[in-house]
Amino acid sequence: MCCSQLAKLAFPMLFVAASVLSSHAQTTPNPKPATGSGVIEPFVQSKSRVRGRAVFEDTGLPAVDALVHLLEPNSVRPKIAMTTNERGGFSFGGIPAGEYYVVVQPVYEFTPGHPSFPYPFHMGDAEFDAARVEAFTRGFPKITIDGNNSIQIEVRVPRHRGNMISGQVTGPNSTPVPDASVSILRHLHKGLTVVQSIRTGPDGGFRVGPLPVGDYFVRAIGLDKKELLDDVREVELPNAVFYISATDVKDAVPVSVLQGQDTASINISLDVHKLATVSGQLRMRESGKPLANVLVNLRGAGHDHIMSSDDNGHWSFSHVASGTYTLQVGTSGFSFPPNAPPAPQPFIHKYQELTVGETDIKDVVVELSRGGRISGTVTLEGDGVHKPNAIMITAITQKRDGQNPAGARVNNDGSFSMLGVPLGELTVQVSTSPLKAYVAKSIRWNGVDLMKEKLTVAEESDIQNVVVVIAPADPPQ
CATH assignment at residue 381 = 2.60.40.10
The whole-number pLDDT of residue 374 equals 95
Tell me, what's the pLDDT at 280? 93
Total domains, the chain: 4
Q: What is the pLDDT of residues 247-289, one digit of tens each?
A: 888 888 899 998 888 899 999 998 877 778 899 999 998 888 9
Q: What was the pLDDT predicted at 334?
A: 44
Comparing CA positions, the residue from 451, 441, 341, 435 lying closest to residue 388 is 435
Question: What value does the mean pLDDT take over residues 131-160?
Answer: 89
What's the gap between Cα 60 and its chain centre? 40
451 CA to centre of own chain: 37
9-68 pLDDT per residue, tens: 333 333 322 222 222 333 333 444 555 555 444 445 678 899 999 999 999 999 999 889
* pTM of the predicted model as reported, rounded to 2 decimal places: 0.57
Cα separations in angstroms, 1 against 4, 35, 426:
8, 53, 19
Q: Is residue 43 part of a domain?
A: no
The one-letter code for the residue type at 205 is G
135 CB-near residues (< 8 Å, 6+ apart): 120, 163, 209, 210, 211, 212, 213
Rounded-to-integer distance, Cα 132 and Cα 213, Å: 9
Task: Report the percent of the chain where pLDDT is more than 90.
Answer: 35
H or E element: which one contains 7? Answer: helix 3-16
Residue 122 lies in a domain: yes
Residues 286 and 263 in one domain: no
Nearest by Cα to 102 from 27, 50, 38, 35: 50
179 domain residue, yes or no: yes
Give the count of beta carbons closer than 10 Å to the beta carbon of residue 311: 8
Among 332, 352, 368, residue at a domain's last position? 368
Amino acid at 413: D
For residue 344, pLDDT beyond 70: no
pLDDT tens-place string over residues 319-340: 787 888 899 898 554 444 444 4
DSSP-based three-state secondary structure for 146: coil
Looking at the chain, the whole-number percentage of residues with pLDDT higher than 70 is 80
In this structure, are residues 240 and 221 in contact, taking their beta carbons and an 8 Å threshold?
yes
Task: Give residue 369's identity as a one-letter amino acid code.
Answer: S
The verdict on 206 and 257 lying in the same domain is yes
HEC string of 76-143? Answer: CCEEEEEECCCCCEEEEECCCCEEEEEEEECHHHHCCCCCCCCCCCCCCCHHHHHHHHHHHHCCCCEE
Residues 6+ apart with CB under 8 A from 430: 378, 391, 392, 393, 440, 443, 468, 470
* Candidate from 289-303, 381-395, 444-458 with smallest mean pLDDT: 289-303
Residue 31 lies in a domain: no
- Same-domain pairing of 399 and 423: yes
Same domain, 450 and 411: yes
Q: Is residue 433 part of a domain?
A: yes
Assess whether 267 and 184 both reside in one domain: yes
Q: What residues have CB less than 8 Å from 178, skipping those under 6 apart?
A: 113, 199, 200, 201, 202, 203, 204, 225
Query: In whole angstroms, what is the distance from residue 471 CA to residue 382 CA?
Result: 7
In order, the DSSP letters of 359-391 are S-EEEEEEEE---EEEEEEEEE-SSSPPPPSEE
CATH number of domain containing 153: 2.60.40.1120
In a shared domain, residues 260 and 304: no
Band (pLDDT 50/70/90 cuts) for residue 463 is very high
User: What element of type H or E holds 55?
Assistant: strand 49-56
Q: Which amino acid is at 224?
A: D
pLDDT band at 82 (very low <50, low <70, confident <90, very high): confident
**Which residue among 319, 351, 368 closes a domain?**
368
Local structure of residue 448 (DSSP, 8 states): E
Is 299 found in the same domain as 262? Answer: no
Range of the domain at 238: 164-271
The answer to whether 70 and 102 have CB atoms below 8 angstroms apart is: yes
| Statement to judge: residues 112 and 202 lie in one domain | no
185 and 99 in a common domain? no
| Residue 36 belongs to a domain | no
Cis peptide leading into 210, omega within 30 of 0? Answer: yes
